[in-house]
Amino acid sequence: MKEQIKIPSSKIERAGKFITTGAKVGGNYVKYYSKKMFDSQWDRKELDQDNAEDIYDSLSQLKGSALKMAQMMSMDKNIMPAPYQHKFMLAQYSAPPLSLPLVVKTFKKYLGKSPNEIFDTFSANAVNAASIGQVHQAVKDGKKFAVKIQYPGVANSVSSDLKMVRPFATRMFNINSRDLDKYFNEIESKLLEETDYSLELQRSTAISEACSQLEGVHFPVYYPEYSAAHILTMDWMPGKHMKEFLAGNPSQEVRNKIGQALWNFYDFQIHTLKEVHADPHPGNFLFRDDGTVGVIDFGCVKKIPDSFYKPYFSLLQIDFENREEELMQLFYELEFISASDSEKEKELFKKVFKQMIGLLGRPFQYPEFDFGDDTYFREIYEIGEKLSQSKEIRQSKIARGPSDGLYINRTYYGLYNLLNELKAVVKTGSAATVALSA
């Protein structure tokens, strides 16, 4: 893959890139409709493919929060047409890498030495490259390390990138600017945290130590002496990324074993630690043929406040049919329904959120759940499509749900999609019941 020697860092450069990409996409539509005029049966797959190529090419050059959003969207295979999903998945671990001179410059700036002055060997080419940084392999005294280097300018561009996206989000979700603030503030704070490798070092060490007793999950050791604000060094972990792992056609037993390890890992974090690795995309895990999995990135961690935890997980376990009064109380507490809503709106959104919570919580309703059953995921997609086209829902300009739910919902659906890719059958008994009764 061709290396990148510069990342657009100024607001003007990045805004110009967005504008240029918009022009390319516009040109693709002109080309599509021109062909459609002469052949009414012309399929729009070519349009989607061209747009996906142009948009990903632009985002991959911008890196940072722009590319991170593409990565986040690729986690949900129902959110966009297949060409976009397939292309955006590259942001998980196969984005265009930075050239070695920029890597050396980062080392000298933050550690005072070049990588070859610190390690015995250091790979000239990146082993993996994602949205925030890229990984190189290094060796010192016979020991292998994974060294993550953050792209220059990424931290400084988060706020300006989100400001460029904000007008589109306001129109897309039909939410007033004031209500949108709480969601954008949550996203911005998490993206800024992901650019702080010193914070990631602390969290990685603390959470991996707390989870070390869990069966089937492994964590690297981190090395503060070889780390800095934009450099993070850890053990080199064995394993394969999801696509390579599944290409080896692992047995159902191995799939289930890994799926169970992932489920237990997330269940323990959410209900015992009350903070969670909130970025469960395939690029953050290394899968092994013995049925274990390595966790290699704690850049995005969501702390779960009690004010959100108790009503949210009470809702996932509530008997909708026999506890209507408690259900409505929780809907008000979680801001799914507002006191300013009309009676018609209250009935509408009660029905909508009962459906959505019922779907999200379905795996908890059984002692064992088959995540390989695609009918469950099709049902999620179909309800999402139906709601997105509902005139009554789109007319409501109130932001529904707490900002804390953004990354918790993302975590669960990201985990569900991982388990679906694995076709894993998992024992889904949760620690939530114990935690809520404590």
pLDDT digits (tens, 9 = 90+) for 38-64: 555 555 566 666 666 666 566 666 555
3-state class (DSSP) for residue 130: coil
Q: How confident is the model at residue 429 (pLDDT cuts 50, 70, 90)?
A: confident
Give yes or no for residue 256 having a pLDDT over 90.
yes
> Do 59 and 199 belong together in one domain?
no
The pLDDT, as a whole number, for residue 400 is 81
Q: Which of 36, 67, 91 is the last residue of a domain?
A: 91
> What does 138-194 look like in DSSP terms, one character per residue?
EEETTEEEEEEEEPTTHHHHHHHHHHHHHHHHHHHHT--HHHHHHHHHHHHHHHHHH
pLDDT at position 91, please?
Answer: 45
pTM listed for this prediction = 0.79
Q: What are phi and psi of 406, to 5 degrees?
A: -55, -55
Amino acid in position 375: T
- Span 356-377, pLDDT tens digits: 888 888 898 889 999 999 899 8
pLDDT score of 38: 53
Total domains present in the chain = 2
Residues 6 or more apart whose Cβ sits within 8 Å of residue 202:
none
The DSSP 8-state label assigned to residue 116 in this structure reads: H
Neighbouring CB atoms inside 10 A of 238's CB total: 12
Confidence at residue 183, expressed as pLDDT on a 0 to 100 scale? 75
The answer on pLDDT for 398 being more than 80 is no
Mean pLDDT of the chain: 80
Q: What is the pLDDT of residue 364?
A: 87
Q: Which domain holds residue 20?
A: 11-91
Per the model's pLDDT, the better-predicted residue between 180 and 133 turns out to be: 133
pLDDT at 438: 47
- Please give the pLDDT value at position 24: 56
pLDDT of residue 210: 96
Q: Are residues 186 and 321 in the same domain?
A: yes
Number of neighbouring beta carbons within 10 Å of residue 207: 20
**Looking at the structure, do residues 73 and 183 belong to the same domain, yes or no?**
no
Residue the block writes with tokens 């009503």: 311
Last residue of a domain, one of 44, 63, 91: 91
**256/349 same-domain check:** yes
Who's near 209: CB < 8 A, 6+ residues apart? none
CB proximity list for 351: less than 8 A, separation 6 or greater: none
Q: Is residue 118 part of a domain?
A: no
d(CA 378, CA 77) in angstroms, rounded, equals 10
Does residue 6 surpass a pLDDT of 70? Answer: no
More confident residue, 250 or 41: 250
Q: Percentages helix, strand, coil for the chain, rounded to the nearest 5?
A: 60, 10, 30
3-state secondary structure of 4: strand
State which of 72, 91, 110 marks the end of a domain: 91
As a whole number of angstroms, the distance between CA 71 and CA 300 comes to: 13
Contact (CB, 8 A) for 267 and 431: yes
Whether 179 shows a pLDDT value over 80: the answer reads no
Does residue 168 belong to any structural domain of this protein? no
Mean pLDDT of 320-328: 79
The answer to the question of residue 2 being in a domain is: no
Give the integer Cα–Cα distance in Å for 165 and 171: 10
Stretch 214-219: mean pLDDT, rounded?
A: 97
